[in-house]
Amino acid sequence: MRYILIIFSLLFFIGIINGFRNHDSSLNKGLKHRVPGYESNPSASRRSNPNDPPAQWFTNRVDHYDPQNTNTFKQKFYVNDTYYTPGSPVFYILGGEGPVGASYVTGHFVFNQYAQKFNALLVAIEHRFYGDSIPMGDLSLENLKFLSTQQALADYAAFVPFLTQKYNTGSSKWISFGGSYSGNLSGWLRLKYPQLISAAIATSAPVKAQLDFPEYFEVVSQSIGPTCSAIVANITQTVNVMLNNGQNEQVQQMFSACDPIITDLDIATFMESLSSGITETVQYNLDNNNYTFTNITAMCSRFEQSSDPMKEFIDFNNEYNQFSGSQCTLSSYKKSVEYLQSSNYKSVNASSRSWNWQCCTEYGYWQTGSSLNQPFSNAITLEYFTQMCTDIFGPKGFIYQPAIQYILNDYGGANIQATNVIYERGTIDPWSVLSVQSQPNSESQVFLIDGAAHCAPMYPSRADDLPGVIEAREMEISLISSIVFNN
């Protein structure tokens, strides 16, 4: 879920702070906190093609668990009935940590190809508190108390009978799809509402909530290889030494820092930002999503073949900033917090604020530099992230502790007992270590895709797809066939 998980296509803090750069949204570059997200196209929420299906709206409850609360909100969804024939399945595409647009049902994902094969109805629904589906009007702290996984799953369940009646799909099987954080939701929707959802595809789903997540950087190191990782580690060490020796102004000039690097929190902000170009390259390596900055081979070749790796890295970082819509490297902790304090849901940072809330209260997912087996700065600490939770959401001094144990207990973590679910993950995806690792029961499947990155099977097929990606899609088609034709 770099924007699961995300389940973040697992954006958070500097990674999610990239949400205020023009390139990012969340699932949706999500889960980058690196949010785990799978949709990185900010225009996906807009109807740019006149032939696209229009946005529709479902009246849902603000609170599904308090009968005294009768407040409602409008939840956005899209339907593509181009291929649908009565009795054929409904493909239910779940929104994650970012806006949902018409592209979700018109070809941005492989589901569209599946719909043609199975004459399916394509339906995509937006997650509460993302995009235009905003209960209570804004993202204030008072309203964010209604943003939780439990409420989101209840939203998705309540929508099923509504759409069933609206499109007369009473005899159709519903199959949910999601990647990264929405991959979590896909598997959990099948777990909690098996009477509504017949099967689920959970791609790159970081189902194991975890406060401190140093393994993210470890997988990045493994994915880029020992030589490239050593070069990055040397660059990190050089910058760390310069900052420790008070050469802050020189570092600021070298990396075109947006603001002066003054405090330890500024250093953490800056070092987290320096990691983003590399980690995002790994997370989305060769995904067929049209928004990838570069790939591992091209990136590491630059570093390894250069006579001046530091200069090469500075150039790389500048190019990444420009790709992300910025002319400088983030370096001010105070400004980073301020960007995420706005409660305006139309703000460019809105999805990042909502996802931060979920990480601060439910998931953690904080990618720290605490491990010795990774090339990034140990200035990126757990305390840095928890302090940001406090400073964004306040009141001062109140530490938001993610309800990790509740998430693990209620949904099963990596031992989830839902049936008719496929859990698939790629070997180079940094979020993969939080996914289901082994078959939890005889009626679900777990598949590890060699060489694949975050949410790779979700994107449209192409001639040079990895063999494992092709096999994963064949497994999905087989599961769908068994549900549609055998039940």
Residue 111: pLDDT over 60: yes
* Mean pLDDT of the residues in the chain: 90
pLDDT of residue 291: 65
Average pLDDT over residues 78-93: 98
Contacts of 382 (CB under 8 A, 6+ apart): 211, 212, 366, 368, 370
pLDDT of residue 47: 47
Residue 2: pLDDT over 70: no
pLDDT of residue 176: 99
Closest CA to 389 of 343, 336, 332, 345: 336
C-alpha atoms less than 13 angstroms from C-alpha of 475 in its C-beta half-sphere: 23
C-alpha atoms less than 13 angstroms from C-alpha of 60 in its C-beta half-sphere: 34
- The residues spanned by each domain of the chain are 1-487
Residue 366: pLDDT over 70: yes
Q: What does the alpha-carbon distance between residue 331 and residue 248 come to, in Å, rounded to a whole number?
A: 11
Using alpha carbons, list the distances in angstroms from residue 267 to 35, 255, 270, 335: 21, 13, 5, 13
Residue 44: pLDDT over 50: no
- pTM (2 decimals)? 0.91
Q: What does the alpha-carbon distance between residue 388 and residue 29 come to, in Å, rounded to a whole number?
A: 20
pLDDT of residue 397: 64
Residue 14: pLDDT over 70: no
Instruction: Return the exposure string of 60-83: e unless at least 16 CB atoms fall within 10 Å of the residue's CB, then b.
Output: bbbbbeeeeeeeebebbbbbbeeb
pLDDT of residue 27: 31
What tokens does 474 get? 């064949």
Helix, strand, coil share of the chain (percent; to 5):
45, 10, 45
**Between residues 267 and 107, which one has the greater pLDDT?**
267
pLDDT of residue 400: 84
Q: Please report which confidence band the pLDDT of residue 42 belongs to, taking 50, 70 and 90 as the band edges.
A: very low
The predicted-structure confidence for 284-332, as pLDDT tens digits, reads as follows 999 988 767 899 999 999 999 999 999 999 999 999 999 999 999 999 9
The residue type at 337: V
CB 49 within 8 A of CB 43: no
What tokens does 326 get? 């910025």
Cis peptide before 395 (omega within 30 of 0): yes
DSSP 416-446: ---SSEEEEEETT-GGGGGS--S-SSTT-EE
The predicted-structure confidence for 298-307, as pLDDT tens digits, reads as follows 999 999 999 9
Strand partners, 366: 212
Angle between helices 181-192 and 404-411 (to 10 degrees): 50
CB 123 within 8 A of CB 28: no
CA quadruple 300, 325, 126, 83: dihedral positive or negative?
Answer: negative
pLDDT of residue 461: 92
pLDDT of residue 49: 77
Q: Architecture of domain 1-487 in CATH?
A: 3-Layer(aba) Sandwich (3.40)
User: What percentage of the chain has pLDDT greater than the value 70?
Assistant: 89
The predicted-structure confidence for 375-431, as pLDDT tens digits, reads as follows 999 999 999 999 999 999 987 666 788 999 999 999 999 999 999 999 999 999 999
The residue type at 373: N
Residue 48: pLDDT over 80: no
CA quadruple 341, 347, 349, 352: dihedral positive or negative?
Answer: positive
CB 315 within 8 A of CB 104: no
What tokens does 169 get? 């799909």
Residue 170: pLDDT over 90: yes
Closest CA to 440 of 247, 254, 207: 207
pLDDT of residue 107: 85
Residue 143: pLDDT over 80: yes
pLDDT of residue 169: 96
**Between residues 253 and 399, which one has the greater pLDDT?**
253
Q: What does the alpha-carbon distance between residue 11 and residue 43 come to, in Å, rounded to a whole number?
A: 17
Average pLDDT over residues 230-244: 98
Average pLDDT over residues 244-256: 98
How far is CA 158 from its chain centroid?
A: 24
Q: What does the alpha-carbon distance between residue 332 and residue 263 come to, in Å, rounded to a whole number?
A: 9
Tell me whether residue 287 is exposed, middle or buried, using C-beta atoms within 10 angstroms of its C-beta: 0 to 12, 13 to 18, 19 or more.
Answer: buried
Angle between helices 149-166 and 181-192 (to 10 degrees): 70
Using alpha carbons, list the distances in angstroms from residue 199 to 9, 203, 288, 444, 483: 20, 13, 25, 10, 7
pLDDT of residue 11: 34
Q: What does the alpha-carbon distance between residue 480 and residue 110 come to, in Å, rounded to a whole number?
A: 14
Q: Please report which confidence band the pLDDT of residue 487 belongs to, taking 50, 70 and 90 as the band edges.
A: low
pLDDT of residue 394: 87
Cis peptide before 139 (omega within 30 of 0): no
Residue 342: pLDDT over 70: yes
pLDDT of residue 51: 86
